[in-house]
A = this chain, B = another copy of it.
Amino acid sequence: MRQKSPAQRHGDNGGRKRAPGRPRSEQARLAILRSTLKLLGENGFSDLTIEAVAAHASVGKATVYRWWPNKAALIADAFASSTTRKLHFPDTGSVRADMSQQMRQVIKIFRSRRGRILSAILAAGQSDRDVIAAFRERFMKPRRQDAYATLRRGIARGELGKDVDLDLLLDSLYGPIYMRFLIRHDNLTPNFVDGVCELVFGGARPGRKLRARGRRSDQ
């Protein structure tokens, strides 16, 4: 996804020899990614042009096209390369507190300038499956791994039922955030995060599931 085939010449080719010819300019690569992020943050996805990226990065247009097959790939790559800030899951001894604190970090990012880039990516992803796949793989997946660990600690401590569906639980926690973020229909506040945790963890505490099913079958 990240690069076109010629770039594979420069990958991790172990002890093999370097390819002949002038090597790829790392400087150009970084300038392009930086310019992409900058312009994305300023004008959103639809106003981002390769022409502007190249000009802003003082780079030939062909250099962009040589390494990225299309705008979506460029954006995905730029976004991935920018995941500098760590979204940390603490270990307070309470799943809910752990999750809640991380979710507060998330909404902070969503409301920052990086949120604009993120929404541009998700927008681009609606008509390009590579972009959305890149988002999942590079942004969501690593965080999910951490979240699994946090949730499993909760299960071990008996705060959550043993048979809880982790993805269902995580989608239920983060889905409301994404909804408010993307549809912008209300403020993304810490209070809102608390409310969601309240509801979802309230429904996820051990022993509830059976009773819930029971209640449902009663109807």
* Contact yes or no, B198 A46, CB < 8 A: no
* Contact yes or no, B136 A183, CB < 8 A: yes
- Chain A positions 94-133 with a Cβ under 8 Å from a chain B Cβ: 94, 96-97, 119-120, 122-127, 129, 132
Q: A80 — which chain B residues lie within 8 A by C-beta?
A: none
Chain A interface residue bracket vs B: 35 or more
Q: Is the C-beta of A65 less than 8 angstroms from some C-beta in chain B?
A: no
Decide if the interface of chain A is mainly helix, strand, loop or mixed. helix
Chain A 150-183 interface 0/1 with B at a Cβ cutoff of 8 Å (1 = within): 0000000000000001011101101111111011
- Chain A positions 161-219 with a Cβ under 8 Å from a chain B Cβ: 165, 167-169, 171-172, 174-180, 182-186, 192, 195-196, 198-204, 208-209, 212-213, 215-216, 219
Chain A contact residues, CB within 8 Å of chain B: 44-47, 92-94, 96-97, 119-120, 122-127, 129, 132, 135-136, 140, 165, 167-169, 171-172, 174-180, 182-186, 192, 195-196, 198-204, 208-209, 212-213, 215-216, 219
13 new A-B contacts, CB < 8 A, other than A135-B183, A199-B204, are A94-B216, A96-B219, A122-B182, A136-B185, A140-B183, A171-B186, A172-B195, A175-B178, A175-B180, A198-B212, A198-B213, A198-B216, A202-B204
